[in-house]
Amino acid sequence: MADIKIENVTKRFGDFIAVDDATLTIRENEFVVLLGPSGCGKTTLLRAVAGLGMADEGRIRIGDRDVTYLPPRDRNISMVFQSYAIFPHMKVSDNIAFGLKMRKTDPKLIDKRVKQSAEMMHIEGMLDRYPSKMSGGQRQRVAVARALAMDAEVLLMDEPLSNLDALLRLEMRAELKKLLADINATTIYVTHDQIEALSMGDRIAVMKDGIIQQCDAPGVVYDMPSNKFVGGFIGNPPMNFMTGQIRQDGDQVRVNIGDFSLTPAPAMQPLLRDYNKEQIIIGIRAENMETFNTSTDDALKVSVQVVEPLGSQNLLTVKIGDGTVKVSTHPTFQIAPDEDVWLRFPADKIRWFDHESEMALYP
Amino acid sequence: MSTNQQARQKKKYNWAPYVLILPSLVYLAVFFAWPMVRGLTLAVWNDEANLILQVEASQNSDEAGKLPQGTAVAILDQQGNEVPVDELDEGNLQTEIWYQITGLGTDGAPISGWVPEARIRVREENDAGTPTGGSVRTKLGSDADPLTTIYAAENEASEIVGQLEARTEVTIDGLTVLEVWYLVRGVDEDGTTVEGWSPSRYIQVFEEGTNGRVDRGNSGALTSEYVQKMVNDRFFWPALGTTLLLMVLIIPIQFILAIIMALVIQANLKGQGLFLYVFAIPLAASDLAVGIVWFSIFTTNGYLNTILQGLGIIDAPVTYLSAETRYWIIIAIVLAEVWRATSIVMVIVVSGLQAISSEVLEAAELFGAGLWQRLRHVILPLLKPSLQVALILRTILALQVFAVVVALSGGDIVTVLARETYRQYFDFRNLNVAASFAGFILLISMVSAVFYLRTIRTQEEVGA
């Protein structure tokens, strides 16, 4: 078993920089998710680790081996592809056995491994079938079983669930998570689905424009985004952002949203005092605002535009200044469109971002 | 919409595709299937196999029996019979003219009736050349009846109107040209003796006039005669051998080259577009032109000898394309065909390669397959459908190879099946044997196509 060290990897396609100086260490048996919008370079980075597209600069190490320029088959990795990429002309058993056969593994061991991985993926009854006679979900299972059979140090997964329908995806997500916890493999998992990332990963590396923005545990990435992009990309609904004006009020720094005045948490005060710009970005998650039907101290009065009852919560869209903010309320909270609601922003739940660099400010 | 309504709607048949395809079906039937069936029947059907004999000297009478073409017959009797004017120029057709005459009988009364041409000497004709008058001929021989019989109609079986003396002047009122019918007797295929009437056009009469043979029949029958002629033709086995040899040599070379070329094009090298164009250029050249190009290379004063002499490798020009160096001709044909037709295979293989998902190839690479293993375990199996198409196409084209062979060998030193078809058709004017050759080529083409379709099975892998 091995860890993966990605050191200053850059990959260009012509003038386009797909991955820009990415550095990431994945510990042994860790499950890291590369998350980002399409075109952010996450798949390119994964392919560089797989050896399917060599890095232009930087090094990639698996364990103590430098694999930067090794062909894929010498890296001791296995992979699940987005389109499954199972061989249509081979039976399921031959598909699963392919990698082992190429390595000239002992036929008895191949048989055993094929059975094991097929059982893990619950497709042991389909070993004699051709993929053309299988559904998308079943093919997905074959693709995973084929990767598992290799028993490689490193398991790479390129959006393995994105071609499945929503219900199946939900099912497979939990199944894969359990499976990957049981086997010993260092895993890199690429997805654009932030819920998948939050639910499965030990850590999430959020990428944008070829740059790794943040790499932390799901809770940290969610609660303490390193910049505005991460906050806006993760979470459903995403983090709300408002622009506030910095105002010195004696010893205290206060921030105005229109006429409404906020008092930042004491820990933030020294930081904001040194913050030499007039404007600052305030970020807060929908579920972190307190809502009241009646006028309350330190609460901002806003008008509700849309009410979306989602069962587990009521999602309100309210107007603040020129923008809108999503507010999550308890399903029992009674409100109708065009009614007024009072919002309170708990100081410890507010995240602060530099107005120019959009980087998060933490004490 | 209720389920009932849906069910009713499903039953409504969609005829539009069939209406749209109808013109092409008609076109196929009229311009392809029908002529081809007609052409191929020539190979196995003898239109003139049997002569049907009639009980009486008339087409309307019952059939007395059949005699195969070439049977010797005895001619027992003959009789004239009316015949359409446009059939008069058929070979072997014997005619007899009957004149309608009027003359004074022995009793001084005028007699009007029909008499065969042998009994009348024509003495007067009008401007159009139609006889208008003449006299009754004298019968030769001492014991002959001096009188000439006049009939009520233009055949000797009809009622006798009267008799005329020799040298009686007659006016000719009209004439009828009759075809002679023979009463013949011969032995048919079963060994039974058959006797009956036949029009003269089917019978070749020998000099004495009492014997003859069935020259051609008037009803067809299946025959293996033409196929036998083809097989026994002295060019048949060399042509078949060369055709198969060329197939065995050309097709593997073409497929290996085409797959390599296709992989080169798919390798995303710089200037891959140029490769495709360069590889595809020979597709535009006609096969005869290609044959002539390669002839100009291999001929005694050709480019090859000039270059070799220029390099000092040989002193005198070598004769490549002669009867003594047949293998050089084969080599030249193989080179020309490979040069000319490899790219069609390549185009098919390229399209097949493009259909293989790049992730599948990457998966093969990632799971440890080297270049050769990827080719063997992934690329070639997935190319199967394309290769099958290309193989069928190439085999059929190889069986039709003609112009290149003729250009390089003149078509005699080295000959192929298509060349023999042409020879039978144009040089020997033997339509039936030519059709046998053509049918034989069609047969091997179809057999090989079926063979490929059966051996390179892909159904269970691709099926829905």
B378, closest residue in chain A (CA to CA): A87
Q: Are A198 and A189 in contact (CB under 8 A)?
A: no
Domain-ending residue, one of A190, A206, A231 = A231
- Quote the minimal CA–CA distance from B286 to chain A in Å: 38
- In this complex, do B367 and A88 lie within 8 Å of one another by their Cβ atoms? no
What is the reported pLDDT for B463?
Answer: 42
Q: Is the per-residue pLDDT at B432 higher than 50? A: yes
For residue A322, the model assigns a pLDDT of: 80
Tell me which of A177, A200, A231 is where a domain ends: A231
- Say if residue A177's pLDDT is above 50: yes
Chain region(s) in chain B for CATH 1.10.3720.10: 229-462
In angstroms, what CA-CA distances link A28 with A3, A62, A63, A79, A153? Answer: 4, 10, 8, 17, 9
pLDDT digits (tens, 9 = 90+) for A187-201: 999 999 999 999 999
Range with the lowest mean pLDDT among A72-76, A242-246, B155-159?
B155-159
The CATH homologous superfamily for domain B229-462 is MetI-like (1.10.3720.10)
Is 90 exceeded by the pLDDT of residue A273?
Answer: no
Same domain for A153 and A295? no
Number of structural domains chain A divides into: 2
Residue of B367, B382, B387 to mutate, interface with A, max A Cβ within 10 Å: B367
- Answer yes or no: do A88 and A200 share one domain: yes
In chain B, what is the straight-line distance between the N-terminal and C-terminal CA atoms, in Å?
A: 30
Interface check for B383 against chain A (CB to CB < 8 A): the answer is no
Q: Does B462 touch chain A (CB under 8 A)?
A: yes
For residue A278, the domain's CATH number is 2.40.50.140
Read off the pLDDT of each residue in A53-66 and give the average, rounded to a whole number. 91
In DSSP terms, A329 is beta-bridged to A314
Q: Do A73 and B364 touch (CB under 8 A)?
A: no
Portion of chain A with pLDDT greater than 90, in percent: 60
Q: Which pLDDT score, from 0 to 100, does residue B1 have?
A: 46
Nearest to B304 by CA among B287, B322, B318, B285: B318
A71:B365 CB<8 A: yes
pLDDT band at B9 (very low <50, low <70, confident <90, very high): low
Q: What distance in Å separates the CA atoms of residue A229 and residue A226, rounded to the nearest whole number? A: 8
Q: Enumerate the residues of chain B whose CB falls inside 8 A of the CB of residue A85.
A: 357, 359-360, 362-363
State which residue of chain B sits closest to A135, comparing Cα positions.
B464
A28 with A55, same domain: the answer is yes
* pLDDT band, residue A203 (cuts 50/70/90): very high
Mean pLDDT (whole number) for B351-358? 90
Residues A73, A141 within the same domain: yes
Is the domain of A248 the same as that of A101? no
pLDDT digits (tens, 9 = 90+) for A281-325: 999 999 999 999 888 888 888 999 999 999 889 999 998 878 899
Shared domain check, A288 and A210:
no
pLDDT tens-digit readout, B276-317: 888 888 888 888 999 999 999 998 888 998 999 889 888 888
pLDDT of residue B460: 52
**Mean pLDDT taken over chain B:** 85
pLDDT at site B178: 82
pTM: 0.74
When pLDDT is averaged across residues A157-183 and rounded to a whole number, the result is: 89
Residue B63 backbone zone (phi > 0: left; psi -120 to 50: alpha; other: beta) = beta
With a pLDDT cut of 70, the percent of chain B lying above it is: 95
Q: Give the closest-approach CA distance of B48 to chain A in angstroms.
A: 57
B460 touches chain A (CB under 8 A): yes
Using a CB–CB cutoff of 8 Å, tell me whether B270 touches chain A. no
In the predicted model, is pLDDT for residue A255 greater than 50?
yes
- The reply to whether residue A73 touches residue B365, judged by beta carbons under 8 angstroms, is yes
Best of A67, A83, A89 to disrupt the B interface (most B CBs within 10 Å) is: A89
Q: Across the interface, which of A83, A102, A133 has its CB nearest the CB of B367?
A: A102
ipTM of the assembly?
Answer: 0.84
Which two structure tokens, joined as six digits, stand for A275? Answer: 């913050």
pLDDT at B464: 35
Same domain? A125 vs A215: yes
Task: Pick B357's closest partner by Cβ from A85, A89, A150.
Answer: A85
CB contact under 8 A, A81 and B359: yes
CB neighbour class for A153 (10 Å; exposed up to 12, middle 13-18, buried from 19): buried
User: Which amino acid is present at A112?
Assistant: K
Contact B366 A146 (CB under 8 A): no
Residue A99 has pLDDT above 80, yes or no: yes
For residue A165, with 0-12 CB atoms within 10 Å meaning exposed, 13-18 middle and 19 or more buried, which class applies?
exposed
pLDDT per position as a tens digit, B83-121? 776 777 777 777 888 888 888 877 778 888 888 888 888
Give residue A25's pLDDT. 94
- Subunit contact B382:A81, Cβ cutoff 8 A: no
Q: Range of A273's domain?
A: 240-361
| B464 in contact with A, Cβ within 8 Å | yes
Confidence of residue B439 (pLDDT cuts 50, 70, 90): very high
Q: Alpha-carbon distance A59 to A53, whole Å?
A: 13
Higher pLDDT, A290 or B129: A290
Q: Residue A146: pLDDT band by 50, 70, 90 thresholds?
A: very high
Report the number of secondary-structure helices (H) and strands (E) in chain A. 9, 21
Q: A244 and A222: one domain?
A: no
Let me know whether A21 and A148 are in one domain.
yes
- Of the pLDDT bands very low, low, confident and very high (cuts 50, 70, 90), residue B141 is low
B375 contacts chain A (CB < 8 A) = no
**pLDDT tens readout for residues B142-186:** 666 778 888 888 877 788 888 888 888 888 888 888 888 888 898
Among A195, A214, A231, the domain boundary falls at A231
Mean pLDDT of B42-57: 85
Q: Tell me how crowded residue A16 is: count the other CB atoms within 10 A of its CB.
A: 10
CATH of the domain at A53: 3.40.50.300
